[in-house]
């Protein structure tokens, strides 16, 4: 995020795009609510009536998969009506004219049939965003989990650049991340193309620096993104490129990745699978080796918040049983494989890391303690450098000439559109009571009482009436790739023709249905759009029994005692 999360509540205008804070980040949602109390204007872009939509000035309830058409149309209005910050564009950006050529055709009237939003409403939203300062954009998985994701992120950045909304507090663009510490994972180089601190593996000087520090030769090739793994196991012709071993920790691809049937086949065919996690999960069923790790509260270290804030987290209780923190397991595996790692604590690892990453170099444990966290970039170890709450101060961007680049692209529809056989669309979403793949929250009875297997499919009441479905009824939902059983939840908050499911349920696993269609740059799958069909199950008694059997089966396979009921 270019801004800090505490700044959210002081924005003049918030464009909340494909981001449902109330379900995914209640603590950020709190800032939005507070901002509203302080008079912040809110434009909410979401195909569903979210809690943010409810308190917004303008709710653009767009048709799923039309993001870029809407963003480009908003840019068109801002340009056409002369609402741009020309001085900012002149002094701090490049490529504006080329960008205008792209957005020229995106009149609100052109976007209306694509987005299903009246042209005048697009105009109103664009005016509100461009004329209320400071204006901030928050976006979530409703932007990132499409095959056209990076283009939309750039499109949103274009809006902020056109209106000069960069370089100060409570402005800019903010991806509110999809998982806890996903920012930290990226910061630490858990990406195929970078070392810690976003230092590219293909740059020779960078590679030499790390080779020298670690005393080993390092590859100059970009690695494999997680979403390419099934293909590289199953269909890779080049023997040298085929993946034979898969070491998975803190991730449950057999639950969270698209097209689960293919993922299962890949895990099955992979010669060697190691799983390192805190509880048994679906991926664990395919593992040759399981390494039990400690959970939050049983270990300590540093997380990065979505707003680049490094925060210490602490050990609260001693773990019980034969398990170790992740960093110790990694160090021991590495040592056993011939590269000894003799770290005594996380601070030693941290110090080594920050000394190799210029933009993190000043974020010492001492400062993290004293200031309750530090937002990078923090380059200097002196106590005066407290980090960077917001980026691009004074309009200076992190490019060679300090100028930002406009980048315009045309909209294209999602890959799999509704058709005769699968007439509805499916989007995966989150719910407040469960986190991610439920490895943690599914084992907590309190949270299971909020929602439990087999989950729900949200549908418009008109669709439910047409299919003769009632609330709570078990239904079969199918796509080209598979099917699952879940409960019907009629709600006015979704539009006819669209369905929404959360992805954590073992039984109502919507990723049986989703499609591994990836964004070409981020490699993130199109979780937010595929075609599906909902079918009524006539024999509900059978369905209830069947769901219970499936659930008990999974629990038995996972070695969870089913006799006593509670897993926790």
Partner 1 sequence: MKKELGSFVIGDSTKCTGCKACEMACFTVHNQGSNHVGKTVGTVTVPVVPRLFLTKFEYGCMPIQCKHCENAPCLNACTKGAISRIDNQVIVDPEKCIGCKDCMQACPFGAVTLLPYAKDGKVVAQIGSNETRVFASKCDLCKDVPGGPACVRACPHEALRLVDPEAEREEKNIKAAEALLLTKNWR
Q: Give the long-range contacts of residues 275-278, CB within 8 A, separation 24 or more.
A: 275/248, 275/249, 276/247, 276/248, 276/249, 276/250, 276/326, 276/329, 277/249, 277/250, 277/252, 277/439, 278/439, 278/440
Tell me whether residue 59 or residue 528 sits nearer to partner 1 (CB atom).
Answer: 59
Nearest approach in angstroms of CB 132 to partner 1 is 20
Binding to partner 1 by CB under 8 A, coded x per residue (else -) over 524-563, reads: ----------------------------------------
**C-alpha separations of 305 from 15, 40, 101, 362 in Å:** 21, 24, 37, 17
Nearest CA-CA partner of 23 in 507, 330, 548, 450: 450
The answer to the question of residue 55 lying near partner 1 (CB under 8 A) is yes
Q: Give the long-range contacts of residues 327-336, CB within 8 A, separation 24 or more.
A: 327/299, 327/301, 329/276, 329/291, 329/293
Tell me whether residue 158 or residue 443 sits nearer to partner 1 (CB atom).
Answer: 443
The answer to the question of residue 22 lying near partner 1 (CB under 8 A) is yes
Q: How many residues bind partner 1 (CB under 8 A)?
A: 28
**DSSP category for residue 360:** T
Binding to partner 1 by CB under 8 A, coded x per residue (else -) over 464-503, reads: ---------------------------xxx----------
Under 8 Å between Cβ of 474 and 454: yes
Token code pair at residue 326:
């992740």
- In the list 100, 234, 432, 467, the residue contacting partner 1 (rule: CB under 8 A) is 432
Q: Give the long-range contacts of residues 211-214, CB within 8 A, separation 24 or more.
A: 213/352, 213/355, 213/356
- In the list 13, 33, 111, 356, the residue contacting partner 1 (rule: CB under 8 A) is 33
Nearest approach in angstroms of CB 487 to partner 1 is 16
- In the list 10, 49, 116, 192, the residue contacting partner 1 (rule: CB under 8 A) is 49
Nearest approach in angstroms of CB 443 to partner 1 is 8
- In the list 334, 372, 557, 568, the residue contacting partner 1 (rule: CB under 8 A) is 568
- Helices 67-80 and 96-103, interaxial angle, to 10°? 110
Under 8 Å between Cβ of 378 and 363: yes
Nearest CA-CA partner of 88 in 99, 100, 80, 96: 96
Binding to partner 1 by CB under 8 A, coded x per residue (else -) over 89-118, reads: ------------------------------
Strands 456-459, 404-405: pairing kind: unpaired
**DSSP category for residue 318:** P
The answer to the question of residue 445 lying near partner 1 (CB under 8 A) is yes
Strands 172-175, 135-139: pairing kind: parallel
| DSSP H helix total and E strand total for the chain | 21, 21
Nearest approach in angstroms of CB 141 to partner 1 is 17
**How far is CA 245 from its chain centroid?**
26
- In the list 36, 127, 242, 379, the residue contacting partner 1 (rule: CB under 8 A) is 36
CA-CA distance, 342 to 223, in Å (whole number)? 26
Cα-Cα-Cα-Cα dihedral sign, residues 318, 323, 324, 326: negative
The answer to the question of residue 14 lying near partner 1 (CB under 8 A) is no
Nearest approach in angstroms of CB 55 to partner 1 is 6
Nearest approach in angstroms of CB 52 to partner 1 is 8
The answer to the question of residue 443 lying near partner 1 (CB under 8 A) is yes
The answer to the question of residue 221 lying near partner 1 (CB under 8 A) is no
Under 8 Å between Cβ of 272 and 246: yes
Tell me whether residue 37 or residue 557 sits nearer to partner 1 (CB atom).
Answer: 37
Token code pair at residue 97:
């004219």
| Diameter over CA atoms, the chain | 70
Tell me whether residue 50 or residue 165 sits nearer to partner 1 (CB atom).
Answer: 50
The answer to the question of residue 27 lying near partner 1 (CB under 8 A) is yes
The answer to the question of residue 51 lying near partner 1 (CB under 8 A) is yes
Tell me whether residue 51 or residue 526 sits nearer to partner 1 (CB atom).
Answer: 51
The answer to the question of residue 6 lying near partner 1 (CB under 8 A) is no
Sole window of 103-111, 120-128, 448-456, 531-539 interacting with partner 1 (rule: CB under 8 A): 448-456
Sole window of 47-55, 73-81, 106-114, 404-412 interacting with partner 1 (rule: CB under 8 A): 47-55
What DSSP string runs through 432-479?
TTB-TTSTTGGG-HHHHTTS-TT-EEEE-HHHHHHTT--TT-EEEEEE
- In the list 26, 394, 423, 496, the residue contacting partner 1 (rule: CB under 8 A) is 26
Nearest approach in angstroms of CB 289 to partner 1 is 27
Nearest CA-CA partner of 419 in 259, 497, 531, 535: 531
The answer to the question of residue 382 lying near partner 1 (CB under 8 A) is no
The answer to the question of residue 21 lying near partner 1 (CB under 8 A) is yes
The answer to the question of residue 434 lying near partner 1 (CB under 8 A) is no
Nearest approach in angstroms of CB 445 to partner 1 is 4
The answer to the question of residue 433 lying near partner 1 (CB under 8 A) is yes
Token code pair at residue 500:
């929404």
The answer to the question of residue 450 lying near partner 1 (CB under 8 A) is yes
Nearest CA-CA partner of 434 in 417, 452, 419: 452
Applying CB under 8 A, the residues found at the interface with partner 1 are 21-23, 26-27, 29-30, 33, 36-37, 49, 51, 54-55, 432-433, 443-446, 448-450, 491-493, 566, 568
């Amino acid at each position: 995020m270019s801004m800090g999360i505490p700044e959210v509540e002081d924005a003049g205008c918030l464009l909340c795009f494909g981001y449902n804070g109330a379900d995914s980040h209640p603590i950020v949602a709190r800032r939005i609510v507070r901002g509203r109390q302080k008079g912040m204007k809110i434009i909410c872009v979401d195909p569903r009536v979210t809690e943010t939509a409810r308190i917004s000035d303008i709710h653009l309830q767009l048709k799923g998969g039309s993001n870029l058409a809407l963003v480009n149309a908003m840019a068109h209005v801002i340009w056409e009506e002369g609402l741009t910050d020309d001085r900012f564009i002149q002094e701090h950006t490049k490529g504006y004219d080329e960008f205008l050529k792209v957005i020229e055709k995106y009149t609100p009237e052109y976007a209306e049939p694509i987005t299903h939003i009246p042209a005048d409403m697009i105009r109103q939203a664009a005016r509100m965003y461009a004329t209320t300062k400071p204006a901030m954009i928050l976006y979530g998985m409703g932007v990132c989990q499409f095959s056209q994701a990076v283009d939309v992120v750039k499109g949103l950045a274009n809006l902020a650049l056109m209106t000069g909304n960069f370089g100060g507090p409570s402005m800019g663009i903010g991806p509110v991340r999809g998982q806890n510490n996903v920012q930290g994972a990226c910061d630490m180089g858990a990406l195929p193309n970078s070392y810690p601190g976003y230092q590219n593996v293909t740059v020779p000087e960078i590679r030499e620096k790390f080779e020298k520090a670690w005393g080993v030769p390092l590859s100059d090739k970009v690695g494999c993104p997680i979403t390419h793994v099934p293909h590289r196991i199953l269909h890779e012709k080049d023997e040298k490129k085929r993946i034979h071993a898969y070491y998975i920790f803190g991730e449950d691809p057999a639950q969270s990745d698209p097209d689960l049937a293919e993922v299962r086949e890949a895990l099955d065919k992979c010669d060697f699978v190691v799983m390192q996690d805190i509880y048994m999960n679906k991926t664990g069923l395919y593992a040759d080796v399981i390494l039990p790790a400690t959970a939050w509260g049983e270990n300590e270290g540093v997380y990065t918040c979505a707003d680049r804030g490094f925060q210490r987290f602490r050990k609260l209780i001693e773990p019980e049983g034969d398990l170790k923190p992740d960093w110790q397991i990694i160090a021991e595996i590495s040592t056993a494989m011939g590269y000894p790692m003799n770290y005594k604590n996380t601070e030693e690892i941290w110090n080594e890391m920050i000394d190799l990453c210029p933009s993190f170099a000043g974020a010492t444990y001492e400062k993290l303690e004293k200031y309750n966290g530090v937002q990078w970039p923090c380059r200097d170890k002196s106590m005066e450098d407290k980090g960077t709450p917001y980026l691009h101060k004074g309009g200076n961007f992190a490019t060679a000439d300090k100028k930002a680049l406009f980048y315009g692209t045309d909209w294209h529809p999602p890959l799999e559109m509704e058709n005769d056989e699968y007439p509805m669309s499916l989007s995966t979403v989150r719910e407040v009571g469960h986190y991610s793949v439920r490895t943690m929250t599914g084992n907590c009875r309190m949270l299971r009482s909020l929602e439990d297997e087999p989950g729900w499919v949200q549908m418009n009441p008109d669709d439910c009436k047409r299919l003769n479905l009632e609330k709570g009824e078990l239904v079969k939902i199918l796509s080209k790739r598979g099917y699952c059983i879940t409960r019907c939840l009629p709600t006015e908050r979704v539009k006819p023709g669209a369905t929404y499911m959360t992805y954590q349920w073992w039984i109502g696993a919507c990723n049986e249905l989703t499609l591994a269609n990836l964004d070409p740059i981020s490699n993130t799958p199109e979780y937010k759009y595929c075609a599906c069909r909902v079918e009524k199950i006539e024999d509900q008694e059978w369905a209830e029994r069947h769901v219970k059997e499936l659930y008990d089966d999974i629990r038995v396979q996972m070695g969870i005692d089913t006799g006593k009921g509670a897993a926790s």
